[in-house]
């Protein structure tokens, strides 16, 4: 019973850290995915007096990744039919060239404004229209949630780290005699703390398996009956196999750090 | 023969503001010596031994153990030095979660010997201290005298250059005490170990030559 309690006291804070980190990773993946969708949707309309090439646009701003010319001939021909004495060619001459441009990544409002100004300021470009501003408020909400989540996770990690170290100190205390005897006989720090290490490693492994297991369950089982459409299309975001490695790595570093803090921090007591 | 311990103007004490326990002591212990250290209770016998194995640094003066200046020795060097010692405590200081056999080979575990070597050496050592049949038991299942024999076997495990014993028979009956003294004599004679034993009483029957240092009024003197 005491044995189980001691392990739980170590596994719980460890779980808190790993669950927090995994949640942040999932949220990060979701917001990146969302950015990608936004980026794909986003374009600017440019009216130019002179014909433009992609390289010409890119000279104005390197974030521009592609462009397409809007074909105006059909419209112009229809216009010409309704007007006597003016040929389609004349209208073609009078009208500017229309382009839509796309970007390599998601841009926020400030960036869009900057690009717009840079484009308008250049010779030959008459007007720039931007769309898609409606996306922006939900994007900012995303960023806000991300900051809040990371702050929360950071705080929880910090607090849990204290609990992990406290528990490690309790273990060390219960093995103090043994470790001191070993020290008297010339055992290295590494050898003396081996027992702490082994215990902590086992618990770190358990915490990693539990966390990965939970998120894998969410992805492979729970999601299918969740009826949350938004998630059902993006189930892969909920869990990735490399998460196991990342969580395991983090758990191991926590164990190593706390062993070092506890063992190095303790001085030799006189027997 | 070369000195294994050499003290000049050695002063020992715990806090810088506390009274000195040993003051301005001068003595030498040569390789191969068998030395008894006696003195009243609280005179600083255990304190002196602690300075030998580096748990207490000299407050002032000089203490050389092996070739090491114990006032300046690094953690790493101290660790290495200790692997050449065999230390025996009045209260045994066995690892109670470990079997008798594993306790006995602790110095070999620390030196990184493999399990096979550990096993054969455990057998040899336990036979030497006549505890072969208890190899798989836990220390607390044995009597005080038996536990101290484990302590002695552990101290002898890696053929130590220097054996330091703090009242090794303090809590033991006469029979067990005699067994312990035999083992110590044997270590000194057969294994060439230098032996320093703190005791409140030198045994009546002792068959090998020995020296006797006494702690009195913070000083250390040779008794002839
Ligand atoms: N860890 C310690 N911290 C402070 N004082 C100590 C400590 N250990 C022993 N002393 C003091 O040092 C003196 C000598 O103790 P000790 O060396 O144990 O004597 P002995 O072994 O001769 O009986 C005593 O007055 C004791 O109170
Ligand atoms: Mg004492």
Q: What is the pLDDT of residues B155-208, one digit of tens each?
A: 999 999 999 999 999 989 999 999 999 999 999 999 999 999 999 889 988 889
- HSE at residue B121, side-chain half, CA atoms within 13 A, is 21
Cβ of A271 within 8 Å of Cβ of B110? The answer is: no
Task: Identify whether the C-beta of residue A186 lies closer than 8 Å to the C-beta of residue B82.
Answer: yes
- HSE at residue A133, side-chain half, CA atoms within 13 A, is 8
Task: Identify whether the C-beta of residue B88 lies closer than 8 Å to the C-beta of residue B165.
Answer: yes
> Nearest residue on chain A to B160, judged by CA atoms?
A185
Task: Identify whether the C-beta of residue B63 lies closer than 8 Å to the C-beta of residue B7.
Answer: yes
Q: Is B72 exposed, middle or buried (0-12, 13-18, 19+ CB in 10 A)?
A: exposed
One-character DSSP codes across B64-131: EETTEETTT--HHHHHHHHTTEEEE-TT----TTS-HHHHHTHHHHHHT--HHHHHHHHHHHHHHTT-
pLDDT for position A45: 86
Q: Is the CB of B13 under 6 A from ligand 1?
A: no
**Which CATH number describes the domain made up of A43-131?**
3.30.70
A141 part of contact set with chain B, CB < 8 Å: no
**Which residues make beta-bridge pairs with B27?**
B7
Compute the radius of gyration of chain A from its Cα atoms. 31
Closest CA of chain B from A263, distance in Å:
14
Atom of ligand 1 nearest to the CA of B39: 22
Token pair in block for residue A245: 């490695």
Q: Is the CB of B21 under 6 A from ligand 1?
A: yes
**Which residues make beta-bridge pairs with B68?**
B65
B81 part of contact set with chain A, CB < 8 Å: yes
Q: What is the 3-state secondary structure (H, E, C) of A105-161?
A: CCCCHHHHHHHHHHHHHCCCEEEEEECCCCHHHHHHHHHHHHHHHHHHHHHHHHHHH
Q: Is the CB of A270 under 6 A from ligand 1?
A: yes
pLDDT for position B1: 63
Nearest to B170 by CA among B140, B141, B199: B199
What A48-55 contacts at long range (C-beta under 8 Å, 24+ apart), as own/partner pairs, is: A48/A96, A48/A97, A48/A99, A48/A124, A48/A125, A48/A126, A49/A96, A49/A97, A49/A124, A49/A125, A49/A126, A50/A97, A50/A124, A51/A97, A52/A97, A52/A99, A52/A124, A52/A125
Q: How many angstroms from the chain centroid is the CA of residue B93?
A: 12
Task: Identify whether the C-beta of residue A72 lies closer than 8 Å to the C-beta of residue A43.
Answer: no
Which of B81, B83, B95 lies closest to A181 in CB terms?
B95
Site of tokens 């009078």: A94
Q: Rounded CA gap, A128 and B178, in Å?
A: 104
pLDDT for position A118: 84
Provide the 3-class DSSP secondary structure of residue B199. coil
Task: Identify whether the C-beta of residue A146 lies closer than 8 Å to the C-beta of residue A68.
Answer: no
Domain ranges of chain A: 2-37+137-264, 43-131
Nearest CA to ligand 1 atom 17: B44
Q: Is the CB of B46 under 6 A from ligand 1?
A: yes
Token pair in block for residue B136: 């798989």
Q: What angle do CA A246, A249, A255 make, to 5 degrees?
A: 145
Token pair in block for residue B217: 């009024």
Task: Tell me the residue length of chain B.
Answer: 224
Q: Rounded CA gap, B84 and B42, in Å?
A: 28
B97 contact residues in A (CB cutoff 8 A): 178
pLDDT for position A133: 55
Closest CA of chain A from B148, distance in Å:
15
Q: Which ligand approaches the C-alpha of residue B42 most closely?
A: 1
pLDDT for position B136: 96
> Nearest residue on chain B to A270, judged by CA atoms?
B55
pLDDT for position A103: 83
pTM reported for the whole predicted model = 0.74
pLDDT per position in chain A (271 positions), as tens? 777 888 899 999 999 999 999 999 998 888 888 877 777 667 788 888 888 888 888 888 888 888 888 887 787 888 777 777 777 788 777 788 888 888 877 777 778 888 888 888 888 888 888 765 555 677 778 788 889 999 999 999 999 999 999 988 888 888 888 999 999 999 998 888 888 888 899 999 999 999 999 999 988 888 888 777 777 777 888 888 999 999 999 999 999 999 888 887 777 777 7
**Contacts with A180 (C-beta within 8 Å, 6 or more apart), sequence order:** A268, A269, A271
Nearest CA to ligand 1 atom 27: B42
A245 part of contact set with chain B, CB < 8 Å: no
CA of B14 to the centre of ligand 1 (A): 8
Site of tokens 């970007």: A103
Atom of ligand 1 nearest to the CA of B40: 22
pLDDT for position A132: 59
Task: Identify whether the C-beta of residue B185 lies closer than 8 Å to the C-beta of residue B207.
Answer: yes
Cβ of A186 within 8 Å of Cβ of B83? The answer is: yes
Q: Is the CB of B39 under 6 A from ligand 1?
A: yes
pLDDT for position A136: 65
Q: How many angstroms from the chain centroid is the CA of residue A196?
A: 34
Task: Please tell me whether the interface predicted TM-score (ipTM) of this complex is above 0.85.
Answer: yes
**Dihedral of the CA atoms B169, B174, B177, B178 (nearest 10)?**
160
**Which CATH number describes the domain made up of B32-56+75-223?**
3.40.50.300
**Start-end of H helices in chain A:** 2-41, 54-60, 73-81, 88-94, 109-121, 135-174, 176-184, 189-192, 194-220, 229-232, 241-264
Nearest CA to ligand 1 atom 9: B47
A184 part of contact set with chain B, CB < 8 Å: yes
CA of B93 to the centre of ligand 2 (A): 14
Q: Rounded CA gap, A69 and A109, in Å?
A: 24
A242 part of contact set with chain B, CB < 8 Å: no
Q: Is A253 exposed, middle or buried (0-12, 13-18, 19+ CB in 10 A)?
A: exposed
Nearest to A112 by CA among A98, A99, A126, A102: A102
Sign, CA dihedral A146-A151-A152-A158, equals positive
Task: Identify whether the C-beta of residue A30 lies closer than 8 Å to the C-beta of residue A80.
Answer: no
pLDDT for position A75: 79
B107 contact residues in A (CB cutoff 8 A): 185-186
Cβ of B110 within 8 Å of Cβ of A187? The answer is: yes
Q: Is the CB of A271 under 6 A from ligand 1?
A: no
> Nearest residue on chain A to B110, judged by CA atoms?
A187
Atom of ligand 1 nearest to the CA of B47: 17
Q: Is the CB of B44 under 6 A from ligand 1?
A: yes
Write out residues in chain B with pLDDT < 70, as ranges: 1
B154 contact residues in A (CB cutoff 8 A): 185
Cβ of A270 within 8 Å of Cβ of B106? The answer is: no
Nearest CA to ligand 1 atom 20: B42
CA of B20 to the centre of ligand 1 (A): 10
Q: Rounded CA gap, A74 and A248, in Å?
A: 61
pLDDT for position B117: 96
């Amino acid at each position: 019973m005491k044995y189980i309690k001691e392990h739980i006291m170590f596994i719980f804070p460890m779980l808190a850290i790993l669950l927090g980190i995994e949640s942040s990773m999932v949220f990060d993946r979701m917001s990146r995915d969302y950015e990608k969708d936004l980026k794909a949707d986003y374009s600017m309309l440019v009216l130019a007096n002179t014909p433009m090439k992609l390289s010409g646009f890119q000279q104005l701003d390197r974030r521009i990744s592609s462009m397409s010319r809007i074909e105006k001939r059909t419209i112009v021909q229809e216009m010409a039919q309704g007007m006597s004495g003016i040929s389609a060619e004349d209208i073609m001459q009078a009208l500017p060239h229309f382009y839509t441009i796309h970007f390599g990544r998601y841009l926020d409002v400030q960036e869009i404004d900057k690009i717009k100004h840079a484009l308008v300021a250049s010779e030959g470009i008459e007007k720039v229209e931007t769309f898609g501003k409606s996306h922006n408020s939900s994007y900012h909400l995303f960023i806000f949630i991300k900051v809040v989540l990371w702050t929360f996770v950071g705080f929880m990690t910090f607090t849990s780290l204290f609990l992990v170290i406290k528990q490690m100190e309790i273990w060390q205390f219960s093995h103090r005699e043994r470790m001191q005897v070993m020290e008297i006989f010339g055992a290295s720090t590494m050898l003396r703390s081996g027992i702490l290490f082994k215990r902590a490693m086992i618990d770190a492994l358990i915490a990693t398996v539990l966390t990965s297991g939970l998120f894998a369950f969410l992805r492979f089982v729970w999601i299918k009956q969740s009826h949350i459409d938004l998630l059902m299309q993006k189930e892969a975001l909920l869990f990735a196999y490399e998460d196991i490695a990342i969580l395991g790595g983090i758990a191991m570093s926590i164990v190593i750090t706390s062993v070092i803090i506890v063992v190095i921090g303790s001085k030799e007591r006189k027997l | 023969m070369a000195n294994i311990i050499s003290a000049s103007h050695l002063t020992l004490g715990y806090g810088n503001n506390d009274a000195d326990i040993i003051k301005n002591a001068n003595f030498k212990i040569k390789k191969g010596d068998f030395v008894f250290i006696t003195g009243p209770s609280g005179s600083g016998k255990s304190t002196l031994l602690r300075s030998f194995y580096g748990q207490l640094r000299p407050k002032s003066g000089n203490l050389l153990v092996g070739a090491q200046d114990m006032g300046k020795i690094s953690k790493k060097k101290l660790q290495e030095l200790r692997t050449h010692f065999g230390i025996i405590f009045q209260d045994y200081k066995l690892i109670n979660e470990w079997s008798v056999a594993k306790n006995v080979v602790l110095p070999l575990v620390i030196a990184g010997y493999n399990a096979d070597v550990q096993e054969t050496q455990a057998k040899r050592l336990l036979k030497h201290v006549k505890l072969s049949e208890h190899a798989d038991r836990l220390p607390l299942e044995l009597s005080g005298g038996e536990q101290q024999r484990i302590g002695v076997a552990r101290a002898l495990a890696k053929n130590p250059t220097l054996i330091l014993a703090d009242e090794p028979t303090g809590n033991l009956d006469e029979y067990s005490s005699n067994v312990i003294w035999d083992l110590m004599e044997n270590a000194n004679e057969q294994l060439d170990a230098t032996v320093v034993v703190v005791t409140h009483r030198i045994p009546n029957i002792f068959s090998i030559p020995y020296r006797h240092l006494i702690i009195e009024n913070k000083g250390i003197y040779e008794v002839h």
